[in-house]
Structures are given as C-alpha cells and as structure tokens.
Amino acid sequence: MRRREFITGVLSAAMLSGARAQSAAGAKRLAIYSPSEPSSLMQEDSTNRYYRALFAELRRLGQVSGETVTIERWGAEKAGIGAPALVEAVVRSNPDVIYIVGPGALLFKRATDKIPIVALTADPVAQGIAQNLARPGGNFTGVSVDTGPSIHGKRIALLREIYPKLSKLAYVTLRGAWDGVQGPSVRAAAAATRTEVTPYLVEFPTTDASYRDLIAGIRAGGADAVMIGDSPDVMAKREVIAVQIASSALPAIYPLSEFVDVGGLITYSFDLVELNKRAANNIDAILRGAYPGDIPFYQASKFELALNLKTAKALSLEVPATLLASADRVVE
C-alpha cells in the first residue's frame, strides 16, 4: 500500500469512528476544509475574525459547537498528504455538510455529488460547480468572492492611482488558483487596463521560504509593482509576504485588509466577515434539511479599501487626496 493511501485510510477511519459516536448522540456534523490554515484557527474564540464571525452566526442561528453540531476541522496540519488525498478523506468521513474555504471546490465536485457543500470560493459558474448563481442545481451553494475581471481591474486601477508609473505587474498566487478561474480573470483585467502582467506561482503546500524566494526574484524579472492573489494561504503568510515585498522596495496591492497592519501599502478586500455570516446561514439551512441546489450563491458586493501611509512614505509615494478620502481605514 502506498504511503498516501495508508495515511488517507487512517484519517478516514478515525473520522468515521468519531462520526458513529456523534451520530448516537444525535449531533449533526460539519466538516471545515481549509488546508492553508491551521485547525486551531477554526474556533469560536479564534484570533481570525472571519472564523469568529462564522461561529458567532452559527450560534445565533442555534447551531452550537459541541451541542447541536460537531465540528471536524481539516486544516494545514493534515495537508501534507496532498489536496486530492485530503479531499478523499473528508468525503469518506461522510459529514452532514462540508464548508470549503478557498481553493478545492473542483476536487470536491469530482469526489462527491451527494454530500451538501457550502463553498467560499471563486466564480462557481465558471468553475462548473453551479448552473447559475440563483439556482446552483447540484450539491453546492455558498458565497462567491470573485466578480470576474472587475475586482482585479479595480485593484490594478487603485495601484496605478497610488503609483502612476505602473507598467509591468507581477501577480503572486497559488498555481492551482492561477490555472483555475483566477488566471483568465487577471489576464482579462490586465488587458483592459493595458497593463503587462506576469504570474509568479507558488506550489501548494507553501512555506515561508517559497514566498520569500519567489518575491525576491520579482524585481529582477522586470516588474515594477506587485499584486497578491486571493487565497486563505496569503492570510496565513501575510507578514512574510509584506516584509519580503518591502525589502524589494516595490509598491503592492493586497487582497485582505490585515496586510496594512503588517506593512502592506494598499488593500482592496471583500468583506469576509459578512461572507462568513452568509455561509453560516447556508450551513444552518442545510443542517435543517434544505437542499443546497435550491440555495442561491451569494456574490460579494461590499468591499474595503485600506492604506498604510508609513509604507507610502517609505516608497516615496504621494497618496492622492481622493484616494485618501475614499479609504475605509488608514494606518499612519
């Protein structure tokens, strides 16, 4: 038996054993899949405000961890066997509903058409996991954090507003995300804004060193600015990413507002607190018997602009008054 098959079998057996005990107690089972983040973050008292919002909304709806619902966490510490094997293990454990955070929807689509899945994901229609946003039609529902080229185009425009000399953009993201729907959206946005874009791709599972090495080569590659792609992985590695970009003295725009707190120049982000609350409502509805294919996918509509003026000064950039006035948050 190969090592991956053995580990997958062990993980599945452990989860199935736990499931039998929990079924006897009558609790429903929610599996949270986010292999970029440690399972320790997937808690009600998490240091991650997005998970706090998820669990707070579940509790408000009557789904209390350890009482009405049992939480099974599939985080970064289990990702060493590889995403396909980890997905197989989750599916074999047969929870009542799976919550996917970030990339992984297509792997689950191939693995099961029976288990209800709530996904915080890129465009579900473009990925083929939903027939349309209003009526997904299969075993998937959730929230979409991808509005196509428009979100990437907006980020490019904001970066150009603070750095008018922008001409060659380096786009840093996971290879799997770029090869999926992210790549075509970014290329379309770059073409529309007449910006030359070069992808810099990180292999999953990532390490601090993989981001440092990749970013260290960007300036030598000719890019004069950086855009970081959407992924839970960059949230976990935000300080490493921001520090390395700062050492390269390159202006950059990031996908999460937390980046300005660790020295990032500018962020334009989805409201992930709102989106996790939406996901919690979908999870609750399914646990109460709703069919996921009848629950509309929610598309992100609220965004937050944040700036770090200290970083702008270090880069000798003058922040336009109009940009400063439109910012939701400013770090000085």
pLDDT grade, residue 19 (50/70/90)? very low
Mean pLDDT of 247-269: 97
H/E segment holding residue 130: none
Residue type, 303: F
Give pLDDT, residue 146: 72
Cis peptide before 205 (omega within 30 of 0): yes
State the Cα–Cα distance between residues 321 and 145, nearest whole angstrom: 29
Query: Percent of the chain having pLDDT more than 90?
Result: 81
State the chain's mean pLDDT as an integer: 91
Domains 3-146+273-299 and 149-270+303-331 are alike in CATH topology: yes
Parse the chain into domains and list their residue ranges.
Answer: 3-146+273-299, 149-270+303-331
State the Cα–Cα distance between residues 121 and 143, nearest whole angstrom: 7
State the Cα–Cα distance between residues 41 and 34, nearest whole angstrom: 10
Give pLDDT, residue 246: 96
Q: Which CATH architecture has domain 3-146+273-299?
A: 3-Layer(aba) Sandwich (3.40)
CA atoms within 13 A on the CB side of 322: 3
Tokens of 116: 């209800």
Residue type, 151: I
Q: Among candidates 99, 86, 93, which has minimal Cα distance to 18? A: 93
Residue type, 328: D
Residue 61 has pLDDT above 70, yes or no: yes
**For the ranges 76-85, 139-148, 233-242, 268-277, which has the lowest average pLDDT?**
139-148
Give pLDDT, residue 17: 44
Between 1.10.10.10, 3.40.50.2300, 3.40.1410.10, 3.90.245.10, what CATH number should domain 149-270+303-331 receive? 3.40.50.2300
* pTM across the whole model: 0.88
pLDDT tens digits along 68-113: 999 999 999 998 888 899 999 999 999 999 999 988 899 999 999 9
pLDDT tens digits along 304-313: 999 999 999 9
pLDDT grade, residue 140 (50/70/90)? very high
Q: Among candidates 20, 181, 5, which has minimal Cα distance to 93? A: 20
